[in-house]
């Protein structure tokens, strides 16, 4: 079992992922900005840590991550100004990667979005442009680190219950996926480092069991 730190611990995906991870025996710390969210996090079975990730330095983040074996980035500015989107989704995310390396963390799981990349195609006059640019930059930086990274790229998020089934592959186009399924993908990825290190997984809700996607059979 692993010591896992969830950054963005009060987000919908993280609140769903934490009890799954705790249930599998992982030691989970959920990082939140607002002290008022501590109780919600602790209800999941995780330990809460209060840190304003947007304004924290690399050293401060490293202090929070020290002792962890896996970092999961599930934080986000949640829309709003482009400036804050870049500050959180790009700059703070990149500082957390540097902090993870500094703290001796081996693995890093990034929750990105389906379509991130240099060819994301979002025009500059679109309100989504800053987010697309920020996530693309963060993903690219992560791939250049020495961390055993996994980049998850879920499609548009829904509030449906988990089906335990997704679809992925080069021929899959963006659709939708439940946050609950994303949480189950995070759980599976952390449980299977041998098949997920340095792997990008873009996915929708689908028909294939999550375990078969994350840990494909070789026989």
Mean pLDDT of 205-211: 97
The pLDDT score that the predictor gives to residue 216 is 86
- Does 68 fall in a domain? yes
| pTM summary value | 0.96
Rounded CA gap, 92 and 18, in Å? Answer: 21
Give the strand pairing for 107-111 and 70-73.
parallel
Backbone angles phi, psi at 111, to 5 degrees: -90, 105
The pLDDT score that the predictor gives to residue 127 is 87
- Does 105 fall in a domain? yes
Nearest to 152 by CA among 210, 101, 102: 210
Query: 27-68: per-residue pLDDT in tens?
Result: 999 999 999 999 999 999 999 999 999 999 999 999 999 999
- The confidence band for 80, taking pLDDT boundaries of 50, 70 and 90, is confident
Q: Which residue has the higher pLDDT, 217 or 157?
A: 157
- Does 219 fall in a domain? no
- Does 17 fall in a domain? yes
The pLDDT score that the predictor gives to residue 75 is 96
Mean pLDDT of 84-99: 97
The pLDDT score that the predictor gives to residue 110 is 98
Query: 174-199: per-residue pLDDT in tens?
Result: 999 999 999 999 999 999 999 999 99
Backbone angles phi, psi at 12, to 5 degrees: -60, -40
The total number of structural domains in the chain stands at 1
- The confidence band for 218, taking pLDDT boundaries of 50, 70 and 90, is low
A 10 A CB-CB count for 51 gives 17
CATH code for the domain in which residue 19 is found = 3.40.50.720
Helix extents (H) in 115-208: 129-143, 179-191, 193-196
- Does 194 fall in a domain? yes
A 10 A CB-CB count for 38 gives 17
Query: 122-158: per-residue pLDDT in tens?
Result: 999 888 999 999 999 999 999 999 999 999 999 999 9
The pLDDT score that the predictor gives to residue 219 is 56
Rounded CA gap, 33 and 84, in Å? Answer: 15
Structural domain span for residue 9:
3-214
- Does 201 fall in a domain? yes
CB within 8 Å of 111: residues ≥ 6 apart: 13, 72, 73, 74, 152, 154, 182, 186
- Does 187 fall in a domain? yes
Asked if residues 206 and 166 have their Cβ atoms less than 8 Å apart, the reply is yes
């Amino acid at each position: 079992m692993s010591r896992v730190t969830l950054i963005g611990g009060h987000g919908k995906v993280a609140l769903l992922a934490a009890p799954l991870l705790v249930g599998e025996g992982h030691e989970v710390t959920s990082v939140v900005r607002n002290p008022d969210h501590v109780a919600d996090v602790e209800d999941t079975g995780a330990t809460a840590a209060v840190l304003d990730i947007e304004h924290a330095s690399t050293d401060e983040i490293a202090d929070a991550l020290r002792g962890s074996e896996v970092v999961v980035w599930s934080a986000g500015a949640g829309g709003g100004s482009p400036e804050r989107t870049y500050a959180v989704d790009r700059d703070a995310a990149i500082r957390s990667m540097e902090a993870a390396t500094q703290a001796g963390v081996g693995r890093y799981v990034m929750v990105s979005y389906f379509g991130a990349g240099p060819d994301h195609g979002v025009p500059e006059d679109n309100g989504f442009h800053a987010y697309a640019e920020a996530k693309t930059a963060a993903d690219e930086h992560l791939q250049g680190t020495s961390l055993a990274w996994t980049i998850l790229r879920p499609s548009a998020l829904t509030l449906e219950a988990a089906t335990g089934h997704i679809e992925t592959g080069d021929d899959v186009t963006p659709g939708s996926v439940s946050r609950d399924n994303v949480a189950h993908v995070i759980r599976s990825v952390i449980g299977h480092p041998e098949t997920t290190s340095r792997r990008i997984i873009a996915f929708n809700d689908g028909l294939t069991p999550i375990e078969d996607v994350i840990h494909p059979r070789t026989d």
